[in-house]
Amino acid sequence: MDKEKLVISGQYLTPAQIVTELDKYIIGQRAAKKAVAIALRNRWRRQKVTGSLQDEIMPNNIILIGPTGVGKTEIARRLARLSGAPFVKVEATKFTEVGYVGRDVESMIRDLTDKAVAMVTEEQMETKQAQAKENAENIILDILIPPVQKESNISVSSEFGTELSQNDEELENAGTRETFRKMLQNGTLDEREIELELLSSGGPNMQILGPMGLDEMGMNISDLMGNIMPKKKKKRKMKISDAILILEKEEAEKLIDKEAVIKDAISRTEKSGIVFVDEIDKIASKSASQGSGEVSREGVQRDLLPIVEGSSVNTKHGTVDTDHILFIASGAFHVSKPSDLIPELQGRFPIRVELDSLSEDDFIKILTVPENALIKQYKAIMATENVELNFDESGIREIASLAATVNEEVTNIGARRLHTILTTLLEEYLFDAPDNLKNNKIMIDGKNVRNTLDEIVKSTDLSKFIL
């Protein structure tokens, strides 16, 4: 289920099954999970529609509304991993309107296309791995045991004498190569050093100054200079274990069809790409009154609009149509609200989902239930030092209670508060583990948590800076 995770036993996952997969990593937020599951399923449904109507079916873009740390970004990230689709996360505040120095909104599509190309390239290289491995082994064997050079004109002194001598040498060489190949495959030669001639990765450090850079033009400096500047080769000495990895990658790259890769990548970008636009509330404004020298937040929205509506974007790989790319936006909307976005942009995000603030019970589940739960992570970290770390029920509840209290009294940063509390709680154990805690067992209970963190929690000033 690595490559086509939405397909299990030949069946495409239903919205309910997608939600079940998301439940493994994200606690609560069922409304948001349902919305993204339906949006993802609709992409598959669109592919099943025949005729010209297929092109008319547009994705239902989504705005996730809720405070920081409640799972907005994690939902989008897990959705992308689950679908195996090209995915890119951008922050709306990084963009500026046309005419100002900064990132152009079209760069998000270029980044998405780059991700798709990398994804398809990796898949293609995996299919060529066996051949690439064999080619890499042959290169190393040619260095260790140079092949017999055949002479074009051999003077024969007797009827078969010289010819037999040549064949014998070839057979002996072939036998030696196979012996060395087995040694190479079982790791016997890993520590031996050889000299390889590799392409030098270093190039001229060039930069284009001005309001429009290569990012905005959809160009790459290495592509521009590749045909002008000759590629240099450099001899390097290295262990065979390192050389085989480098050569396998180089050989796999030679075997793949780059034109087919780019064609497939652009197709995936257009049909299944997902762009997650975070902090979209930061470019929403109640007032249009701004200084003449400031970047207009409304201007960024207007630049974003054609990308979301559907347009053609030039990339270094080719033209990409954004009509069917799924856009998921998110924002806390503490100061502004979705209706403060320009009406045209609001219309391109028809689905709005409000995520719930996290409660103490939610924190308990976040600490223990997900496959990547924080407590599981810290247990695994301490196990590397031969230290067994355990949390009893009272300790877990106390951590959750403190997180809820600090979020309420200081700033609500959602589940991220658990990271800061656990880091502070376990600081001494993490510091002492290599020297003083080998083969020890640590039990974190409620009393232990209170003794370590009580004073910090009681002091609002300390809580702001520490927790």
Query: How much is the average pLDDT of 373-396?
Result: 89
> Quick one: pLDDT band at residue 292, thresholds 50, 70, 90?
very low
Kind of pairing between the strands at 388-391 and 441-444: parallel
The pLDDT of residue 8: 42
What's the rounded mean pLDDT across residues 12-25?
88
pLDDT at 150: 56
DSSP 262-292: HHHHHHHHHHH-EEEEE-GGGG--S-----T
237 belongs to a structural domain: yes
Confidence of residue 153 (pLDDT cuts 50, 70, 90): very low
- Token look-up 């920081």 returns 68
Whether 367 is covered by a domain: the verdict is yes
In a domain, 154, yes or no: no
Number of structural domains found in the chain:
3
Residue partners of 329: CB distance under 8 A and separation at least 6? 61, 62, 63, 64, 92, 276, 277, 278, 280, 349
* Domain span holding position 107: 7-122+265-354
Same-domain pairing of 137 and 239: yes
Residue 375 lies in a domain: yes
pLDDT, the chain, mean: 78
Is residue 105 in some structural domain?
Answer: yes
pLDDT value of position 219: 52
Judgement on whether residues 142 and 197 belong to the same structural domain of the protein: yes
* Amino acid 463: pLDDT: 59
Pairing of strands 7-8, 11-12: antiparallel
Query: Does 110 score more than 90 pLDDT?
Result: yes
Query: 248 and 139 share a domain?
Result: yes
- In this structure, the answer to whether residues 179 and 251 fall within a common structural domain is yes
* Domain assignment of residue 260, yes or no: no
Is 431 in the same domain as 401?
yes
Do residues 272 and 389 both lie within one domain? no
- Whether residue 92 is found in the same domain as residue 27: yes
Contact in structure between 241 and 291 (CB atoms under 8 Å): no
Q: Is residue 223 part of a domain?
A: yes
The CATH number of the domain holding residue 20 is 3.40.50.300
What is residue 28's predicted lDDT score, i.e. its pLDDT? 85
Q: Is residue 1 part of a domain?
A: no
The better pLDDT of the pair 451, 211 is held by: 451
Pair 222, 299 in one domain: no
pLDDT above 50 for 160: no
Q: Same domain for 460 and 367?
A: yes
Residue 222: which pLDDT band, with cuts at 50, 70 and 90?
Answer: low
The residues facing 326 across adjacent strands are 274
Q: Which helix (H) or strand (E) holds 127?
A: helix 107-127
Out of 321, 354, 387, pick the residue that ends a domain.
Answer: 354
- Measured at the CA of 89, the angle between CA 366 and CA 4, to 5 degrees, comes to 75
Domain boundary among the residues 194, 226, 255 is at: 255
The angle formed by the CA atoms of residues 152, 153 and 157, to the nearest 5 degrees, is 140
Domain co-membership, 88 together with 190: no
Q: Which residue has the tokens 């029920």?
A: 393
How much is the pLDDT for 235? 77
**Do both 397 and 456 map to the same domain?**
yes
Average pLDDT for 36-45: 87
Domain stops at, among 209, 233, 255: 255
Residue 173 has pLDDT above 70, yes or no: no
Residue 71 · residue 416 · CB < 8 Å: no
Provide the pLDDT for residue 194.
76
pLDDT confidence band for 266 (50 / 70 / 90) = very high
Residue 457 maps to which CATH number?
1.10.8.60
pLDDT of residue 171: 56
* CA–CA distance, 48 with 46 (Å, rounded to integer): 5
Where does residue 232 rank: exposed (0-12), middle (13-18), buried (19+ CB within 10 A)? exposed
Please tell me whether residues 114 and 170 are part of one structural domain: no
Q: Does position 271 have pLDDT exceeding 60, yes or no? A: yes
